[in-house]
Structure 1
Amino acid sequence: MDCPECGTRMLAFAVPADLREYLPGDEPGATICPRCLELRPVTDPPEESPDFRQIADAFPAESEAAIPMALVVGLLSSLAIYRQEISALLVNVERAGVDPLLVIDRLSIADGVEPSVDLQGRRRQLEQLL
């Protein structure tokens, strides 16, 4: 599936049952665009997780951190609406041993990543949530 925003091939992944409540919609999976970081729910996700490092080297490689981090990044465009979900997902990323704010810092300067949201601005707002 190509991103409806920028046309880049999206990465599809299954969202574990314990994280589905944080994904908009009722679908069991999601896609994320490695270029603009657009997040979309999907009904038929693959069984295996993709290599999230296709987004950027800054992205966690392990699914335990990568999936909640992908959800966080995808929800950042609506921080006011998804504040509670983002807060809970940040805790999941930290529990997996990854600093989510550092990932956002690195994504903001990563080659090939062109999000529609100001990651540095959102990072400052996220600091207040933690």
Structure 2
Amino acid sequence: MSPPDCRRCAAATIAIDAGEYAETVPAETTRLVLCTHCLALESAPTDGADTPTTAGADHEPAVAQVSEQFPTGEAAVPFALLVGLLENLALNRAAITDLLAAVEHAGVDPLARLEQLTHDPEIEPAIDLEGRARQLEQLL
């Protein structure tokens, strides 16, 4: 079953299972969807009718549907969560710091990838991604 469309912009979404990063997600569920266009991160529906199948420990989310700039492998889930949590940097600061470390540990420079996403013409983030990247640099 495919994930539901984004509630903000009606674009397609990809399913994500927070898995080992569940403590970073400010929701009651670890099953989430990330918009492929505006990068909004939301809890997946729980009504059963539109519940997406999420990537588990042995399945990677379909991040290629978002952008070629999205990291794959071990960095895919923490980077997707990081991007989604940037909407509220102040509230999610601790989780974002943990996710940055996880992405770096997986061998990916998260700030460079955020910068690359700002230049992807297919993406129109709901937030000022470039501004958030600058704020992250100051945070570190």
Q: What is the match of residue 53 of structure 1?
A: 64
TM-score, scaled to structure 2: 0.86
Matched, 1:2 2:5: yes
% identity of equivalent residues: 41
TM-score, scaled to structure 1: 0.92
2:116 to 84, 102, 106: 106
User: CA offsets, 1:27-84, max 9 Å, x none?
Assistant: 122110010000012255424333202111110121x101000011001110011011
**Cα displacement (A) at 1:25:** 1.1
Q: Structure 1, unaligned stretches of length 5 or more?
A: none
* Greater C-alpha radius of gyration: 2
Matched, 1:41 2:38: no
Q: What is the match of residue 19 of structure 1?
A: 21
2:33 to 31, 53, 65: 31
Instruction: Tell me, in whole angstroms, the C-alpha distance in 1 between the residues paired with 2:70 and 2:133.
Output: 15
CA contact (8 A) 1:90 1:100 kept: yes
Q: Structure 2, unaligned stretches of length 5 or more?
A: none
Q: What is the match of residue 138 of structure 2?
A: 128
Dislocated runs of 4+, deviation >6 Å: none
**Cα displacement (A) at 1:26:** 2.1
* Aligned length, in residue pairs: 128
CA contact (8 A) 1:24 1:41 kept: no
